[in-house]
Amino acid sequence: MLRRRRAQLVERSAMRRRTGPSTTGAGDPRVQVDGRGGDARVDPVAKRVGERVLERDATGQDTEPETFARWRAGMREVARAPNTVVKISGLGQADHRWTVASLRPWVLECIEAFGTDRAFFATNWPVDRLYSSYGDVVDAYAELIAGFSETEQRALFAGNAERIFRLGEGSA
């Protein structure tokens, strides 16, 4: 199952290279905001952009409990706006010796706050390569959501990103 999931992600990555990088231009339905600050200041932005999707990164967190509590409250506040989504990536930037256990609270909190329909996995490649392999990151995500339904797993690994970034639209 994990090999199949990894192969699917590699194919998604190849598709991404074919379709080119995303932008936040006038035709793009999303606005990207960095989530490292972990505060609620993004909420007014979510309201101001209206129907556009506000993408909130969940990267580079400090591992101190107080930081997690502040980040959690901020993420919950942002998640209240229905046009926000969260990209779960780059978690090794703060925890260079990460384990599945050390990532668990960050990843599961993102999913709990935003739901399986507004969260998706990504990597921060090539920076993540400093701390782990691509396969290790994908396998960690898979282990963390092993108890989720197959539909939820598909959504978190590819389906939500395809929908949000409109991947494959207009392709032959």
Express each pLDDT in 53-112 by its tens digit: 555 556 546 667 888 888 888 888 888 888 888 889 887 887 888 899 989 998 999 999
Mode of pairing for the β-strands spanning 84-88 and 30-33: unpaired
Prediction pTM value? 0.72
Instruction: Name the CATH superfamily, with its identifier, for domain 2-14+36-164.
Output: Metal-dependent hydrolases (3.20.20.140)
Which amino acid appears at position 41 of this protein? Answer: R
- Phi, psi torsion values for 88, nearest 5 degrees: -90, 105
Per-residue pLDDT reduced to its tens digit, 9-39: 544 444 443 333 444 433 444 444 444 444 4
**In the chain, where the domains are located:** 2-14+36-164
Q: Cβ distance 89 to 57 under 8 Å?
A: yes
Strands (E), the chain: 30-33, 53-57, 84-88, 119-121
